[in-house]
């Protein structure tokens, strides 16, 4: 009897034979190219059984390979049967390289252009030119074969009043329309889900962990907008909410409306829009202008109302974190060493005490002991969750989607007595965290210029961490928001006032322990005595940093002052909102520490 995986591979190979195609490329992405893929679009999972957040598969008439990055090299072997798929590294041997080596010259490889960015398609066509033919599909074969495909989750459309977001949709559309006009375009196709929701001041829960609606929009330079969502889903006052110049279409009309842009100059972001948009527009006689989504920078620079909301939700999130960490310390003191799943569920239960919590902002990373050495560890992808053990570290990276903002926090907690080496590495990471938090920098500074501040103390000892230092965070939107970041990558986007970015240096020792310290930081302007003001970071997160992991004598006086002042702010703002054992725990956790 054929296994499920074997049956699905057989069905794909039958499709290849029927259409005289030599291979099919199946990425993890769906047509929205977002970080999170809803269950009904998990095509790679359906085909292979792989549940990771990044990957691809290639199926030929007699071979199959799955490509994952370093986060999933163990997981893929447990989920995807080796008798059917070769395991390959997504970065070291990309799918296109494997195709060139394993598919005969002159063969054809099918792709669904909705599952790849326009930038990817341009690169792929160049890479395979003269050797492999790319077949652009009009429909996805998996969609035809996937008979028990889940129905899309249809959430309520939430209208965000202007007093909650600080700017009306009409005002936003006028602002973005001016940017479109300045770029030389007549219209812009807005494909990023968070950009659409930001532009129209709406939210939903169509995608787990991301408060958006599965939709698209076309914004014209006269500020009129075409919105593509089933009209039956919209509340009666939607048109009044968005304002004049709104047209609503069923998503089935998207292609028709794109084709109506014949002769127009249309802005499309090649990095975050799928290739299908560019192909349809070009075939319809439109001129495609490849440029960044014009919503990105205005969305990233939070206004006063959004900033106030972010500050307020971080205080409430700090209450939940304090309740959890107080509970955890008490459990450990009573020799109750829980597993990672129990801990994640307990933390979520504390967050759910807040009625404004709409969802988590991502799946909680609850990592005990050596599991924390995998920086994107997920206990739900393991055969069984790990267990706390004494004299180790526990890393918990978590966050919430609240009506007034989005949170993301990582704390590394001592379980018993950490070793001297754990304390040393934690303190080096903390020094980097403080270096970023205390930074002062001129306008125009890019994130990669800040990144060195986070790594310098680890570098001095011959250590580093293999991830970025900071990512943007949205206002009740994506927890990973572009376009700015803090990392080694030379992202040419300035940090501007109102942006919210994470500050999360860490250290990971394979099979031993992992450390990360993460706060969210607001970019603010600071007056100076000099000729021009400078920018700085203001920490939004309100939760103690575990001082049991710190070698205080490795901290300079300014670093120690920052830490004590930060803990004083945590105490001042969280103390009035907690009581009993939690307040006593908070009092102890925020006590000033001094050099020996």
CB count within 10 Å of CB 353 equals 11
pLDDT of residue 269 exceeding 90: yes
Alpha-carbon dihedral sign for residues 101, 102, 106, 110 = negative
pLDDT of residue 192 exceeding 60: yes
Start-to-end CA span in the chain (Å): 70
pLDDT digits (tens, 9 = 90+) for 100-146: 999 999 999 999 999 999 999 999 999 999 899 999 999 999 999 99
* Residue 283 dihedral angles phi and psi, to the nearest 5°: -70, -20
Tokens, residue 546: 């575990």
pLDDT digits (tens, 9 = 90+) for 213-238: 999 999 999 999 999 999 999 999 99
> Hey, which bits of 99-224 come out as E strands?
108-111, 133-136, 158-159, 187-190, 202-203, 216-220
> What's the rounded Cα separation, in Å, for the pair 501 and 321?
20
| 40: exposed, middle or buried (Cβ count in 10 Å: 0-12, 13-18, 19+) | middle
> What's the rounded Cα separation, in Å, for the pair 265 and 185?
5
> Could you write out the three-class secondary structure of 162-183?
HHHHCCCHHHHHHHHHHHHHHC
369: region left, alpha or beta (phi > 0 left; psi from -120 to 50 alpha): left
What pLDDT band is residue 2 in, cutting at 50, 70 and 90? low
* Residue 282 dihedral angles phi and psi, to the nearest 5°: -60, -45
- 212 touches 477 (CB < 8 A): yes
Average pLDDT over residues 533-537: 95
- 465 touches 433 (CB < 8 A): no
DSSP, collapsed to helix, strand or coil, labels residue 585 as helix
* Residue 87 dihedral angles phi and psi, to the nearest 5°: -95, 130
- 437 touches 523 (CB < 8 A): no
pLDDT digits (tens, 9 = 90+) for 448-487: 999 999 999 999 999 999 899 999 999 999 999 999 999 9
> What's the rounded Cα separation, in Å, for the pair 339 and 425?
24
Alpha-carbon dihedral sign for residues 76, 82, 84, 90 = positive
Average pLDDT over residues 41-47: 97
| Among candidate residues 271, 245, 112, the one with its CA nearest the CA of residue 191 | 271
For the chain, the average pLDDT equals 96
> What's the rounded Cα separation, in Å, for the pair 453 and 435?
5
Helix (H) or strand (E) run with residue 304 in it: helix 304-333
In sequence order, what are the residues at sequence separation of 6 or more whose Cβ sits closer than 8 angstroms to the Cβ of residue 536?
A: 439, 440, 441, 523, 524, 525, 526
pLDDT digits (tens, 9 = 90+) for 329-339: 999 999 999 99
**What is the pTM assigned to this prediction?**
0.95
Provide the percentage of residues in the chain whose pLDDT is more than 70: 100
pLDDT computed for residue 387 by the predictor: 97
Average pLDDT over residues 175-189: 98
Average pLDDT over residues 293-322: 98
pLDDT digits (tens, 9 = 90+) for 309-331: 999 999 999 999 999 999 999 99
Tokens, residue 402: 């609240």
> What's the rounded Cα separation, in Å, for the pair 306 and 309?
5
| Among candidate residues 426, 584, 449, 442, the one with its CA nearest the CA of residue 512 | 426
pLDDT of residue 299 exceeding 90: yes
What pLDDT band is residue 1 in, cutting at 50, 70 and 90? low
pLDDT digits (tens, 9 = 90+) for 343-374: 999 999 999 999 999 999 999 999 999 999 98
């Amino acid at each position: 009897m054929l296994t499920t995986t074997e049956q699905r591979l057989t069905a794909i190979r039958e499709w290849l034979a029927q259409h005289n195609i030599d291979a099919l490329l199946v990425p993890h992405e769906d047509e929205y190219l977002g970080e999170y893929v809803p269950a009904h679009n998990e095509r790679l999972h359906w085909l292979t059984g792989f549940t990771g957040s990044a990957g691809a598969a290639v199926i030929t008439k007699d071979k199959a390979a799955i490509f994952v990055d370093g986060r999933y090299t163990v997981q893929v072997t447990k989920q995807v049967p080796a008798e059917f798929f070769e395991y390959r590294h997504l970065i070291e041997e990309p799918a296109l390289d494997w195709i060139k080596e394993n598919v005969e010259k002159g063969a054809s490889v099918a792709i669904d252009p909705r599952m790849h960015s326009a930038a990817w398609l341009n690169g792929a066509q160049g890479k395979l030119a003269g050797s492999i033919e790319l077949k652009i599909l009009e429909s996805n074969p998996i969609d035809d074969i996937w008979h028990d495909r889940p129905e899309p989750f249809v959430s309520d459309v939430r209208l965000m009043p202007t007093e909650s977001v600080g700017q009306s949709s009409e005002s936003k559309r006028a602002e973005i329309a001016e940017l479109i006009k300045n770029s030389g375009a007549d219209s812009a196709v807005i494909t990023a889900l968070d950009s659409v929701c930001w532009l129209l001041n709406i939210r939903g829960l169509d995608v787990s962990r991301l408060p958006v609606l599965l939709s698209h929009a076309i914004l014209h330079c006269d500020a009129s907008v075409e919105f593509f969502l089933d009209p039956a889903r919209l509340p009666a006052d939607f048109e009044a909410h968005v304002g004049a110049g709104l047209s609503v279409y069923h998503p089935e009309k998207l292609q028709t409306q794109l084709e109506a842009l014949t002769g127009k100059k249309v802005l499309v972001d090649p990095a975050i829009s799928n290739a299908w948009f560019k192909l349809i527009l070009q075939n319809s006689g439109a001129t495609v202008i490849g440029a960044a989504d014009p919503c990105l920078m205005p969305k990233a620079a939070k206004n006063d109302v959004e900033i106030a909301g972010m500050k307020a939700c971080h205080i409430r999130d700090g209450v939940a974190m304090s309740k959890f960490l107080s509970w955890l310390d008490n459990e450990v003191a009573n020799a109750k060493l829980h597993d990672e799943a129990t801990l994640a569920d307990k933390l979520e239960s504390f967050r759910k005490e807040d009625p404004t919590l709409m969802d988590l902002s991502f799946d909680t990373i609850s990592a005990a002991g050596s599991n924390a050495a995998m920086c994107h560890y997920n206990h739900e992808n393991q055969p069984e969750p790990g267990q706390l053990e004494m004299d180790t570290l526990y890393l918990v990276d978590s966050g919430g989607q609240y009506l007034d903002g989005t949170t993301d926090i990582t704390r590394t907690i001592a379980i018993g007595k950490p070793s001297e080496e754990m304390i040393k590495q934690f303190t080096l990471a903390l020094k980097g965290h403080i270096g970023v938090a205390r930074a002062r920098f001129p306008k125009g500074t890019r994130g990669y210029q800040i990144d060195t501040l986070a790594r310098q103390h680890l570098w001095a000892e011959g250590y580093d961490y293999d991830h970025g230092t900071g990512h943007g965070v949205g206002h009740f939107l994506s927890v990973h928001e572009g376009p700015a970041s803090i990392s080694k990558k030379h992202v040419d986007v300035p940090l501007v006032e109102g942006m919210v970015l994470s500050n999360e240096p860490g250290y990971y020792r394979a099979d031993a322990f992992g450390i990360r310290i993460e706060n969210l930081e607001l970019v603010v302007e600071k007056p100076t005595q000099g000729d021009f003001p400078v920018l700085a970071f203001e920490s939004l997160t309100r939760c103690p940093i575990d001082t049991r992991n710190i070698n205080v004598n490795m901290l300079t006086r300014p670093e120690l002052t920052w830490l004590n002042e930060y803990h004083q702010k945590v105490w001042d703002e969280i103390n009035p909102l907690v009581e009993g054992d939690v307040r006593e725990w908070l009092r102890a956790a925020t006590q000033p520490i001094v050099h020996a």
